[in-house]
Amino acid sequence: MIRPILHYPDPRLRQAAEPVAQVDDDVRKLVDDMAETMYAAPGVGLAAPQIGEGKRIFIMDVAKEDEPSDLRVFINPEIVERHGEIAWEEGCLSFPGAREEITRAERIRVRALDRDGKTFEMVFEGLAAVAVQHENDHLDGKLMIDHLSLIRRRLLHREMSKIAASKRRETKDDVAAE
């Protein structure tokens, strides 16, 4: 099921997510919804808090258009090593239309549970490393805007608040028209 994606400045995006106690069918159902939602958007990553689920889960698929899909599921992830630096122009499904250059670690090692509840450890580089760090931030209520300079932060906040306000007006008009 495709779920609605929360947009900044929705306060639910700021809440730290809770660890998953057990990877069961409910968790797998949530992962399936997340995948459907991410591919429909389309996006290369999605964290559970972005659909209002306060659980430490994110998914990503950074396969290129001409490559087969490569869905990866991270439950209770932990970044255990970070090396180097890379600047990448990032987007986020919770910041529609925004692109911002952000500097993060170039190579990371992650430990997490997969959709079967099995622990795995993997090294990621470049775009995949950036995506993992971006999505992992969401689990702590941290957003791409927090990585920007004060001026960029203010501009992006204003832009997103404007979009959110006009969406609220549209919804109100829809309700009034009924």
Among 18, 81, 100, 135, which one carries the catalytic annotation? 135
CB-wise, 105 or 175, nearer to Ni ion?
105
Cα–Cα distances in angstroms (integers) from residue 5 to residues 33, 46, 51, 83, 84, in the given order:
11, 9, 5, 31, 32
Query: Is 156 near Ni ion (CB under 5 A)?
Result: no
- The one-letter amino acid code at 52 reads G
In the chain, % helix, strand, coil (3-state, to 5) comes to 40, 25, 35
Q: How far is the CB of 15 from Ni ion (least distance, A)?
A: 15
Taking the complex as a whole, the smallest distance from the CB of residue 50 to Ni ion amounts, in Å, to 6
Q: How far is the CB of 134 from Ni ion (least distance, A)?
A: 5
Pull the structure tokens for residue 19.
């660890």
Nearer to Ni ion, 99 or 172 (CB): 99
1, 40, 47, 67, 74 from 131: Cα distances, Å: 23, 18, 11, 18, 12
- Residue 92 is a binding residue for Ni ion (CB under 5 A): yes
Measured CA to CA, the distance from residue 147 to residue 51 in angstroms comes to: 22
Which CB atom, from 10 or from 117, has the smaller least distance to Ni ion?
10
Q: Could you tell me the smallest distance in angstroms from the CB atom of residue 135 to Ni ion?
A: 7
Asked if 80 contacts 110 with a C-beta cutoff of 8 angstroms, the reply is yes
Question: Which residues neighbour 44 within 8 Å (Cβ) at sequence distance 6 or greater?
Answer: 38, 60, 61, 62, 127, 131
Q: Which stretch binds Ni ion (CB under 5 A): 52-60, 91-99, 107-115, 161-169?
A: 91-99
User: Is 18 annotated in the active site?
Assistant: no
H or E stretch at 120:
strand 119-125
- For Ni ion, the closer of residues 31 and 92 by Cβ is 92
Residues 1-30 that bind Ni ion (CB under 5 A): none
- Binding-residue pattern over the window 34 to 73 for Ni ion, x denoting contact by CB under 5 A: ----------------------------------------
Catalytically annotated residues: 135
What is the contact surface with Ni ion in residues (CB under 5 A)? 92
